[in-house]
Amino acid sequence: MINPYRSRNITWVKTLSALLGLFAALFVLVSGIFLIHEIRHDCSGEDCPVCAAMEQCEEAVRTLCTGLVILAAVILSALPLLISGSRPSHPVLSCTPVSAKTRINC
């Protein structure tokens, strides 16, 4: 049976993915601007809230950049398969007991 809501779900997922990507890019940009702006702040000592915020921003940017490096490595390793357009050598089963609605009594 064909799901009439499938195209709407895919569109929603693509939109959500684009918004999350935009949010991540904006977060990195704002964190970088904050770090640049506060690089020479008047430090109040060991419990400086600005220094604590700067450390959190640095850690977030480092974590996001590590994730981007891993994503780039995955994409580059899968690129030859995507370019060649090759299909898997084993056929994909289109008829399964579940799709045929076969009841299996044990």
Residue 93 lies in a domain: no
Least-confidence region, from 26-35, 40-49, 58-67, 81-90: 81-90
Q: What is the DSSP letter of 89?
A: S
Query: Residue 87's pLDDT is what?
Result: 59
- Count up the domains in the chain and report the number: 1
Q: How many helices (H) and strands (E) does the chain have?
A: 2, 0
Residue 60 lies in a domain: yes
Query: Residue 49's pLDDT is what?
Result: 84
Q: How far is CA 40 from the centre of its chain?
A: 33
Query: Residue 9's pLDDT is what?
Result: 65
Structural domain containing residue 71: 7-83
Residue 23 lies in a domain: yes
Residue 31 lies in a domain: yes
Residue 105 lies in a domain: no
Task: Return the closest-CA partner of residue 75 out of 64, 19, 67.
Answer: 67
Query: Residue 82's pLDDT is what?
Result: 67
Residue 1 lies in a domain: no
Q: What is the pLDDT of residues 62-85, one digit of tens each?
A: 887 787 788 788 878 877 776 766
- This prediction has a pTM of 0.47
Residue 94 lies in a domain: no
Long-range pairs for 34-37 at CB < 8 Å and ≥24 separation? 35/61
Residue 101 lies in a domain: no
Band of pLDDT at residue 104, cut at 50, 70 and 90:
confident
Are 49 and 37 contacting, i.e. CB atoms less than 8 angstroms apart? no
Query: Residue 90's pLDDT is what?
Result: 61
Q: Is residue 16 exposed (0-12), middle (13-18) or buried (19+ Cβ within 10 Å)? A: exposed
